[in-house]
Amino acid sequence: MNFSGSLYASTENKVGVVLIHGKWGSPSQFNSLGTSMRNKGYRVLTPLMPWSKVRGYDVDYSAALEIITSNIQELQKSGSTVIVLAGHSKGANAAIAYAAYGREKINGVIAIAPGHTPDRLRYHQSIQSSLNKAKGMIDSGSGDKQALFTHRNNGRFADINMTAATYFSYYDPDGMASMPLSTSKITQRVPLIWILAGTTDVLYDKGRDYVFEKWPQHPLNRYHVLNSNHMEAPVDAQDEVLRWIDALPAGN
């Protein structure tokens, strides 16, 4: 494909990217990818999300998506007409959720080693006692009360103090964190590049049908498997990601 000429967003530096970090992570995990994007002239923002170690889930999932909204609006004010959401692990989950529930129009979703899958049976069974506890508190009118709840991250577990409503917003199997459910609610025709870390990726065995084949059809949809691992995927996906963004149509 020929990427030259004004038909493509990258040639006019109209691309704005929100890089959304993973669970218990930080924006620094995108240092390499973010630098490469800025070197191409893209405007790049890397917000500190509620699931970072520093913030400790201080707001619910809906409020987390509003953080993305404010970053998109900042990019738009700076002149970006092509808005791309790129997330790693839980950040990829958030990018997909935004495509379904977010308030601003976006032009592309990059899901790198997508994670956080409370819709999967074994996943939510492993935290079922905390889910029951949170649901019970919400039903009794105590959803705004704090308690210890068990969180899962790539096979690791930690108890974190937060409100029951906030916990349930992130771990409800039928809520915003379900990537298949979010995909079913997407109405805008936005392209997706779904990048798995490798054959050991937690979602590799789920194949294309888990999210990719359910995504609204678009000629730029791509399914890619790296020869990498979960933590290194944002770096190893760099070339594929930049080529894909270069092919996006220029915005108005």
Q: Which domains, and CATH codes, for the chain?
A: 9-117+174-246 (3.40.50.1820), 120-173 (no CATH)
Q: Per-residue DSSP letters for the chain?
A: ----STTBGGGGT-EEEEEE--TT--GGGGHHHHHHHHHTT-EEE----TTSTTT-S-S-HHHHHHHHHHHHHHHHHTT--EEEEEEETHHHHHHHHHHHH-SS--SEEEEES----TTSHHHHHTTHHHHHHHHHHHHTT-TTSEEEEEEEETTEEEEEEEEHHHHHHHH-TTSTT-HHHHHHT--S---EEEEE--TTSTTGGGTTTTTGGGSPP-TT-EEEE-SS-TTTHHHHTHHHHHHHHHTSBPP-
Q: What is the pLDDT of residue 3?
A: 32
Whether 250 shows a pLDDT value over 90: the answer reads no
Q: What is the pTM of this model?
A: 0.94
Give tens-digit pLDDT for 120-154.
999 989 999 999 999 999 999 999 999 999 999 88
Least confident of 11-20, 55-64, 96-105, 156-165: 11-20
Averaged pLDDT of the chain = 94
Give tens-digit pLDDT for 87-122.
999 999 999 999 999 999 999 999 999 999 999 999
Q: What is the pLDDT of residue 181?
A: 98
Mean pLDDT of 35-45: 96
